[in-house]
Copies of this chain bind each other. A is one copy, B any other.
Amino acid sequence: MHEFDGLKEECGLFGIWGHPEASELTYMAMHSLQHRGQQGAGMVSSSGEYLFGARGMGLLTEALSKDQLDSLKPFPHAIGHTRYASSGGSELSNVQPFLFKSHTGDLGLAHNGNLVNAMNLRRALEDQGSIFQTTSDSEVFAHLLRREKGAGEEGLEKRKNRIKKTLKQLKGAFAFMIMHEDSLTVALDDHGVRPLMLGKKDGSHCVASETCAFTAIGADYIRDIEAGELITITDDGIDFDYYTDQTYPNMCSMEYIYFARADSEFRNISTYRIRKELGRALAEEMDVEADIVIGVPDSSLAAAKGFSEAIGIPQEQGLLKNRYVGRTFTEPGQEARERAVRMKLSPVRDIIEGKRLIVIDDSIVRGTTSRFIVKALKQAGAAEVHMGVSSPPLKNPCYYGIDVSTHAEIIASRKSRDEIRDEIGADSLTYLSVDRMHDVYHQFGSKGQCDACFTGNYPIDIEEAILPQEKDLKQKGV
């Protein structure tokens, strides 16, 4: 439960080529990916000759009006994007897919991830005379692609080579959907940090950030797209290729732990099962006497279930989540934050009263939500509250597309486990170990997981992405 705790969503992608209901399916798929970004949404459709776009701020239902959707309805190819916007760039112009028009043809672009060398590429492009439309790192790709022998008619093969050359200039995490009037190209970076899935609906190929999008539209889930893959879908079929032969699979660990929907699958395994197993693994490492196990809704219920099964103590719904969006009158500050959490989470008193509780949460970022949860449960009469976290201590920012807080805000980068336990007021605090986490992932067929936020071992060099002041702090050891 990170709504007040500093871990933000990333983006959701969906695309489909050659289906009479392409736009409606895309819209339904985006709805199922809404948990991956609520600040904006957009679609770009191709008629086969031209691209057409629509986008807006807010949740899908606000972002795209019925009129906008109707205008895209006739077209058989579509891509959609749900976006989380970091504070600095919450403008309509940054909402994707981007749609670039030129006399040589249109380009639609949607990106999940983050390019670590975007700033340097952008400066170089500006110095060569480019004018940027947005503050987004994703736009860099469009400029590089246009300059890569940009002009004139070209065959699909020539275009693929151009895209390959452009992708090789990028450093960072990316799942790209690149739409031309006659093709949909998708690419995953050489570390495969962000998820991208291949599916099929009524004979038409589709791609999505998560398989829950396939379930939503009744599509078949074919397979996970791999690090370095470059797939081109046209009216003539699907072409599988790689833009590079040097790949280093390093899928984001937090996708399993927190981001993905419980019914989304990776390598045919549901996140629900992976989370249950993380809970089981935690149970082996946490030695505590208790009466009941409580999962923090919704993302930690599966881990709590696994924990409960492993330890043989019943799981109860001791915390309820209010499904409605609220707000307080109170001026910003500690009091307002507490009221906000209280409006979101409620303890079920007569379940809790007098009981020793194990509370399972999937992760702790700033610690504010955990502190409230412990306080609320104790006020409701809990005898003891033991906190179990089904992931290792989160200590480092992510530079690959997740907007975690800076070092200064991440509690585990500043404090020891005991200090955190005291700060949140729990009777004990246990994290899952990094090794056991990797065990679980290997058990479910992972080829390699990024654990930088836990260990600080960044698989892609982040030097270019760090802001000067952050560097200073780092050198000073903050």
Residues 117-149 of A at the B interface (beta carbon under 8 Å): 122-123, 126-133, 135, 142-143, 146-147
Please, which residues of chain B bring their CB within 8 A of the CB of A112? Answer: none
Q: Name, among A24, A28, A269, A305, the residue most crowded by chain B CB atoms within 10 Å (CB to CB).
A: A28
CA distance A318 to B327 in the complex (A): 32
Please, which residues of chain B bring their CB within 8 A of the CB of A324? Answer: 31, 34-35, 38, 59-60
A474 at the interface (CB under 8 A from B): no
Residues 184-242 of A at the B interface (beta carbon under 8 Å): 212, 215-216, 218
Q: Are A342 and B272 interface neighbours, CB within 8 A?
A: no
CA distance A150 to B326 in the complex (A): 40
Q: Are A272 and B351 interface neighbours, CB within 8 A?
A: yes
- Interface-lining segment among A95-103, A154-162, A282-290, A402-410: A95-103
Classify chain A's interface size.
35 or more
A23 at the interface (CB under 8 A from B): yes
A478 at the interface (CB under 8 A from B): no
CA distance A104 to B151 in the complex (A): 27
A362 at the interface (CB under 8 A from B): no
Given known A-B contacts A346-B216, A350-B273, A330 and B24 have beta carbons under 8 A apart: yes
A343 at the interface (CB under 8 A from B): yes
Q: Are A151 and B131 interface neighbours, CB within 8 A?
A: no
CA distance A94 to B324 in the complex (A): 23
CA distance A195 to B342 in the complex (A): 23
Q: Are A24 and B350 interface neighbours, CB within 8 A?
A: no
Given known A-B contacts A61-B326, A272-B348, A28 and B130 have beta carbons under 8 A apart: no
Please, which residues of chain B bring their CB within 8 A of the CB of A263? Answer: 320, 346-349
A280 at the interface (CB under 8 A from B): no
CA distance A216 to B309 in the complex (A): 31
Find A326's partner among B60, B212, B265, B305 (CB 8 Å cutoff). B60
Find A314's partner among B38, B123, B150, B309 (CB 8 Å cutoff). B309
Q: Are B31 and A343 interface neighbours, CB within 8 A?
A: yes
For A125, the closest partner residue in chain B by CB is: B129
Find A328's partner among B28, B146, B327, B330 (CB 8 Å cutoff). B28
CA distance A160 to B323 in the complex (A): 39
A167 at the interface (CB under 8 A from B): no
Residues 322-370 of A at the B interface (beta carbon under 8 Å): 322-330, 339, 342-343, 346-351
Please, which residues of chain B bring their CB within 8 A of the CB of A147? Answer: 129
A27 at the interface (CB under 8 A from B): yes
Please, which residues of chain B bring their CB within 8 A of the CB of A320? Answer: 261-263
Find A268's partner among B346, B347, B350 (CB 8 Å cutoff). B350
Q: Are A342 and B218 interface neighbours, CB within 8 A?
A: yes
Minimum distance in angstroms from A399 CB to a CB of chain B: 20
Q: Are A132 and B101 interface neighbours, CB within 8 A?
A: yes
A302 at the interface (CB under 8 A from B): yes
Please, which residues of chain B bring their CB within 8 A of the CB of A150? Answer: 126-129
Minimum distance in angstroms from A353 CB to a CB of chain B: 10
Please, which residues of chain B bring their CB within 8 A of the CB of A31? Answer: 322, 324, 326, 343
Minimum distance in angstroms from A448 CB to a CB of chain B: 22
CA distance A101 to B27 in the complex (A): 33
CA distance A73 to B322 in the complex (A): 24
9 contacts between A and B (CB under 8 A): A24-B330, A73-B329, A129-B143, A218-B342, A261-B320, A263-B320, A272-B351, A302-B317, A323-B323
7 smallest CB-CB distances across A and B, nearest first, come from: A129-B147, A127-B151, A24-B329, A34-B324, A31-B326, A263-B348, A270-B350
